[in-house]
Amino acid sequence: MRLPSLNQLRTFQLAGRHLSFKVAAAELSLTPSAVSHQIRKLESFLGIALFVRGTRSLDLTDAGRNYFDFLDGMFARLENETQLMLTRYGRSIVRLCVPPFFASEALLPRLSDYQLIAQDTDIRVSTQPSAMKIHPPEADLSILLGADHWPDLVTFRLMARRVVVACNAALRSAANLHSYESLNGQTLIVHESRPESWRNWANWLGIPPVTPRKLIRLDSMAAVVRAAEQGLGLALVSWPLGKACFENGSLVRVFEEEMETGEHFYLAHRAEDGDREEVGQLVQWLLHEFSENA
């Protein structure tokens, strides 16, 4: 029997995991239309619809869910077996999955320090959406965001996630942002996966919700920060992850308060991976760099 191409299966697996052609495309370095084309070719090959496509939503059909569950496990096993082979016959490799903004602002600027102490170990860094709460099967270690509700994983608390109101210096000066009420009538930048953030911020302060002139909705914290740096509006920026943007002057605080979100970043791995030397070495380095108790 002929089988679908491995590219089509991998594309379907990622689209099924994220329920987003756009996110799958970013992970595969493709365009969303190319991902959609691959999925349609796979559906045509199988003669089965794998997704229910809505105007602004994507979901798996029953057949798609069953096929995804099988393929997700298959790819995890394939990657694990490949890892075992490399560990036995080649250089050690450790696979770390992190939120994109954590990667760009916190991890990558310090990664050269890790390379100095782990010269015989290769590291593969992948990213998933910033609100990621599931340890990917193909990862050895991941940084998750939440409240430590992962009973099947070994976890270590890193830094708390807080947010601050920020914009560029020119906007703060021009808009005369001298009080909470002065935010009314301004353009607010909203992280689409956290649509209630501004309301939560107002509730935390005990003030009425902000009434914006308009909203700009973006799908990642990196995009939110870049938009704020360009003077497009006011943003709630992750702290201390966004610290470098304030130190280099591309962003300024509008108010000094740091809102506690109740979430922490956690370092997580499966119990069976904890005995691997290269995993343990990276765990210790990450705890040293990013734990608030370090």
**Which pLDDT value is given to residue 55?**
85
Give the confidence band of 293 by pLDDT, cuts at 50, 70, 90.
Answer: low
**Which pLDDT value is given to residue 127?**
87
Contact 261, 161 (CB under 8 A): yes
Locate 7 and state its tokens: 């590219």
What residues contact 94, with CB distance under 8 A and at least 6 apart? 121, 122, 123, 124, 140, 141, 276, 278, 279, 282
pTM for the full predicted model? 0.68
**Which pLDDT value is given to residue 132?**
65
From 70-84, 155-169, 179-193, 248-262, the region with the lowest mean pLDDT: 70-84
Structure confidence by residue, pLDDT tens digits, 271-292? 999 888 999 999 999 999 998 7
| Average pLDDT over the chain, rounded to an integer | 91
Locate 161 and state its tokens: 């996630």
pLDDT at 294 over 60: no
Contact 111, 123 (CB under 8 A): yes
Q: Which of the two residues, 241 and 82, has the higher pLDDT score?
A: 241
Domains observed in the chain: 6-77 (1.10.10.10), 91-294 (3.40.190.290)
Structure confidence by residue, pLDDT tens digits, 52-74? 999 889 999 999 999 999 999 99
% of the chain exceeding 90 in pLDDT: 71
**Which pLDDT value is given to residue 173?**
92
Residue with tokens 């029997």: 1
Structure confidence by residue, pLDDT tens digits, 76-108? 888 878 877 766 666 678 999 999 999 999 999
